[in-house]
Every structure is written in structure tokens, then in C-alpha cells.
Structure 1
Amino acid sequence: MPYKQPVSILLIIHTPELDVLLLERNDFTDAWQSVTGSREGDESLINTAQRELAEETGLRVDVSQIRDWESCHDFEIFEVWRHRYAPGVTMNTEHVFSVEIPVACEVDISPNEHRRFKWVNWQQAAEMVFSPSNAEALRELPARMGH
């Protein structure tokens, strides 16, 4: 299997009321997160977001529905996951996106990646996620959506 690219997306899925979908990782108990994933090949980042949304939740949207925050940050890859990257790669650049769906709904999570999902308000979501960059993006959500 080829190494993962150290370029990824963070996709916040939310309703108009700013309820947010969180997924619990299989490999990290009580680790809640928004949809994340690495770019594959030379796909655009917005296509990465669209693909990861479908893979991790079963939700399908047109790329025009995905909002590019034009925001990114670098973070150190957790030691436990570094084997997925080329030798010597320790940093990842994460690009932030969001997508609004009309109502909180059932999703078809990927059992290889996640054990369960829940919808919570954005404040609770920011407290629940394990990733500092995910928490920061969730705290920005109301302003980004004009609330």
C-alpha cells in the first residue's frame, strides 16, 4: 500500500442550527472527530472532502455544497500513525472545509474507521473532539456561517 500524503482535509458537517456530526474512531476509544482524510493522488482538496464525506458517512453532496474555508494549519502526526507515511514524514498540513445539510440524519459510518456517530451542538462538539485543530475550527463555525 502506498504511503499516505501528509496533506489532509477536515470537514465539518453541520445543520443550519449548527448541530455537528461527530464520529468516534475505532482505533482510539473516546476520540471524537469531524470527517478527516488524506488527499489521494492529485485530486483537488475539495474532491478529497467530497470523497471522505461519502466514504465515512455515506452522505453524498455536490462539490458546490462544500465550503472551502481557505484555512490550513500544520500539525505533528501522532507517533502511532506515522507508519502510514513515508519515512521521516512527521508533519501534516490540514485544510478546513464545511458542508451544511438540512437536518441531522442517520449516517452510514465506515466500520473500518468509526464505531459510532452522534449529532451535538457546536459548543459540545468543540469540547468532545480530541484534535485541537478540530476544536478550533468548531469554535469558528458560528462566525463562518454568519451566526
Structure 2
Amino acid sequence: MKIPVSVLVVIYKSNGEVLLIERADRENFWQSVTGSIDFASEDLRQAAIREVQEETGIDVHKLSPGALQDMHHHIEYEIYPQWRFKYEDGVIKNTEHWFSLKVPDDVAIRLSPREHIAYQWLPFATAAAKCFSPSNGQAILRLFSSKAS
């Protein structure tokens, strides 16, 4: 059963482009890297590193120190009814912790075809508007509003 604690990682380049990936199980469902922790004591940062590797092929350990940043923000949202079967009975909410990852402009993306079928780099405002999840769009906008200040 899934644990209702997850990470969301906004991956971006120095030019402000953000990586969005399209889910394999839902057409036109674009998102940032997301995923639940694997076990109750899993460190959130380690979960973010693992999910980035699994979903994009990017090895965070090979990037410059400080590339992965905890955005020190989390949200709680209601789990879609059609996905609640993945959780213990009665679990209807998930807590999502936000991270950002700055990557080199020439980074190679290798999708996990079981999870995602396409990717694209978009200007951050366009990416935020394209996300299926409103909170994913908010995470992108929050990241870039903090960079402007």
C-alpha cells in the first residue's frame, strides 16, 4: 500500500524552462516529477532523488552541490477517488513536499515508459498553466517568484 506522503520536484534550466512529463496512464496529464515515499522513515530528500532518477534518468548525485533544493513548502490534497485503492482503507488525503532541481541546459532525459510517454521543456509560466494539477502549477510559480526576489 502507498504511504500518503509524497514529493514533487520542479526540474528547471538556467533559462527558466521547466521540464514537464506526460503520464502513461492518463493522456494529456502533464506534471513535474512526483512520487510517494517508499517506507515511513524514508528521508524526503532521498525520495526526491530516487523519483528524479526513476522518472527522468537524471542522477542528482552527478549534479553540482546544491542543485536539489527543498522549497520548505508542503500541501495537503484530497486523493482522487479512483486512486484511493492504492492506500490503506480510509486514507483520503496526501501530504506533498516540494523540491526544485536546477539541471544543466544539455541534460539528457530518459523516461520510464511504464510511467511517462513524453516530455517537454517549457517557459515556466507556460509549464505552470499546462500542469494537470493546480498545486503543481503553484509549485512552479512559487519557485520562480522566489527567484525574482
TM-score (norm 1): 0.93
2:60 maps to 61
Q: How many residues align?
A: 145
Amino acid at match of 1:19: E
1:139 maps to 141
Amino acid at match of 1:36: T
TM-score (norm 2): 0.92
2:45 maps to 46
Contact 1:5 1:40 in 2 (8 A): yes
User: How far off its partner does 1:102 sit?
Assistant: 1.6
User: How far off its partner does 1:33 sit?
Assistant: 0.0
1:17 maps to 15
Amino acid at match of 1:14: Y
- Matches of 1:94 and 1:10 in 2, distance apart? 7
Instruction: Choose from 71, 74, 95 the match for 1:72.
Output: 74
1:34 maps to 32
- Matches of 2:43 and 2:10 in 1, distance apart? 18
More divergent stretch after superposition (126-135 vs 64-73): 64-73
Unaligned runs of 5+ in 1: none
DSSP-derived class of the 1:83 partner: helix
- Matches of 2:148 and 2:102 in 1, distance apart? 13
- Matches of 2:71 and 2:77 in 1, distance apart? 18
Deviation readout 1:92-137 (Å, 9 max, x if unpaired): 0000000101215431101111111111110110110000110111
Amino acid at match of 1:25: R
Contact 1:19 1:104 in 2 (8 A): no
User: How far off its partner does 1:54 sit?
Assistant: 0.1
User: How far off its partner does 1:47 sit?
Assistant: 0.4
Deviation readout 1:33-63 (Å, 9 max, x if unpaired): 0000001112100000000000000000138
Unaligned runs of 5+ in 2: none
Q: Is the aligned partner of 1:8 residue 2:6?
A: yes
DSSP-derived class of the 1:27 partner: coil
